[in-house]
Amino acid sequence: MKRRNFIRKSSVLGASTLLTNNAVWPAVRRISPNDKLQIGVIGCNGMGWSNTNSILKMDDVDLVAICDVDQSVIDKRLASYQELRTNKPEVYRDYRELLNNPEIDAVIIGTPDHWHCLPMVEAVQAGKHVYVEKPIANTIEECRIMVDAASKSGKVVQVGQWQRSGPHYRKAIDIVRSGKLGNIRLVKVWAYQGWMEPVPVLPDEAVPEGVDYDFWLGPAPKRPFNKNRFHFNFRWFWDYAGGLMTDWGVHEIDIALYAMEANAPISVMASGGKLAYPDDASETPDTLQTVYRYDGFSMLWEHATGIDGGPYGRTEGIAFIGNNGTLVVNRQGYEVMVEKYPRGYAERGEPKMEPIERFKKPGDLNYLDLHTQNFVEAIKANDVSLLNTPIDSGSVAAINAQMGNIAYKTGEKVFWDPQAGDFKKNKEASKLIRARYNGDWKLPSL
């Protein structure tokens, strides 16, 4: 399938049911190359602040607003910001008030996954450009809505899958697409995370002072406050995220599918569970193998916590396994392992392809900085096509990762119907495509 067609078919709701005729969109304000870009950050803990620090390395960008539901985080960021710039950003506890600020040109969304869709859609509707953290959403339906919102608004929306901006990843992708590796039948993607220890079981407790916990939960189910579910560890609970599959997995799957120019799987099956730490507090699997079947090749995702000994001696990476050779790429660089002709060939023992020099990433080159620079350049040129990870392309990895989690949750091999945009004859799997918003929160309408 064409990449755009796959994205448009990725929800059980077609575009006609999502779009309304009475939507009012602000005019796109062109920002000249000489203008200073005024940005705000929504969710300034973790990657939200890492992205902000990165973008502020550019002199033509000013931070004018920060928003977070935790006052202690705001206090910490304001203190550290004083070491970077002299202005004092406006402070918000409700992102909707930040979006009403007409001085803001663009926002960084660094909230937990379940809080990506609403702010992103409302940001482009308010005329703001957006840098949204990966994965773009916590459900396939939300991904679909976000892609449509970006397209309809005409705003620049970059996804935080920054490996796309890395020069050595681009070189590796060129090698894969060159045909030198021969027919690529299998792609392996993995994340072995030895640093991850068990999440200790902790009792529920009172909400910490200065935290708007109800707002933090937002569309997620109502639950008592527990430190395990707050800040960094939200990743390991289904209400808010999808575990390592949508955390590390989205980065690696993005490169794999982009290089292979693939979008929609034919089928997906997954096996794993809480096998390393069965009694810890987390919900998502600490051990998982997921097999995707595409037209012409298969992709295997696997992750494991508490172990660093991943495939090819690497804790994370992507391997493109071809008839002539295997290219292995990760954040440190890439190398090609050349196959030799076996017995029965006149060329027995000879290499099947010319050797390709191993490449090691320069230690002083920051790929996140290249990614945020690319975002600013696209805004100033008013040209979405300049983006290294535009939301329509970046959403493919998030959607495929969600499909892997759906296969794991159902315990079945699921088959994708590209025309209907759901899983063939599997009502349970198709039901998991949809987002379930709780309380007064509703899916955004376009």
| Mean pLDDT, the chain, whole residue set | 93
Q: With bands split at pLDDT 50, 70 and 90, how would you rate the model's confidence at 28?
A: very low
Q: pTM here?
A: 0.93
* Cβ atoms of 146 and 155 closer than 8 Å: no
pLDDT digits (tens, 9 = 90+) for 250-284: 999 999 999 999 999 999 999 999 999 999 999 99
CA dist., res. 178 & res. 164, Å (int): 18
**Residue 2 pLDDT exceeds 80:** no
12 band by pLDDT with thresholds 50, 70 and 90: very low
CATH number of 3-164+368-390: 3.40.50.720
Least Cα distance to 291 among 186, 429, 410, 143 occurs for: 186
With contact defined as beta carbons under 8 Å apart, do 218 and 114 qualify?
A: yes
Helix (H, G, I), strand (E, B) or coil at 321: strand
Q: List every span in the chain annotated with CATH 3.30.360.10.
A: 165-361
CA atoms of 225 and 205, how far apart (whole Å): 6
213-217 average pLDDT score = 97
SS3 270: strand
Round the CA-based radius of gyration of the chain to a whole number and report it. Answer: 22
In words, the CATH class of domain 165-361 is alpha beta
Give the pairing of strands 184-193 and 316-322.
Answer: antiparallel
Q: How confident is the model at residue 32 (pLDDT cuts 50, 70, 90)?
A: low
Is the confidence at residue 325, as pLDDT, over 50?
yes
Assess whether the previous peptide bond of 418 is cis (omega < 30° from 0): no
- For the segment 100-157, what is each residue's pLDDT rounded down to a tens digit? 999 999 999 999 999 999 999 999 999 999 999 999 999 999 999 999 999 999 999 9
In this structure, of 179-188, 208-217, 404-413, 418-427, the range with the lowest mean pLDDT score is 418-427
Q: For the chain, what percent of residues have pLDDT higher than 90?
A: 89
pLDDT at 35: 83
Task: Decide: helix, strand or coil at residue 318.
Answer: strand
CB under 8 Å, gap of 24 or more: what pairs does 418-427 form?
Answer: 418/1, 418/5, 418/6, 418/9, 418/264, 419/9, 420/9, 420/12, 421/9, 421/10, 421/11, 421/12, 421/14, 422/12
Parts of the chain belonging to CATH 3.40.50.720: 3-164+368-390
**Residue closest to 177 by CA, chosen among 298, 322, 314, 301:** 322
Digit-coded pLDDT (tens) for 352-372: 999 999 999 998 999 999 999
pLDDT computed for residue 445 by the predictor: 87
Structure tokens at 43: 């969710």
Q: Are 378 and 387 in contact (CB under 8 A)?
A: yes
* Overall average pLDDT of the 2-15 stretch: 46
* pLDDT for 16: 28
Q: 315: closest CA among 169, 192, 188, 189?
A: 192
3-class secondary-structure state, position 415? strand
Q: Average of pLDDT values for 184-210?
A: 97
The number of beta carbons lying within 10 Å of the beta carbon of residue 85 is 12
Helices 243-260 and 391-410 pack at an angle, to 10 degrees, of 130
Confidence at 446, pLDDT banded by 50, 70, 90: confident
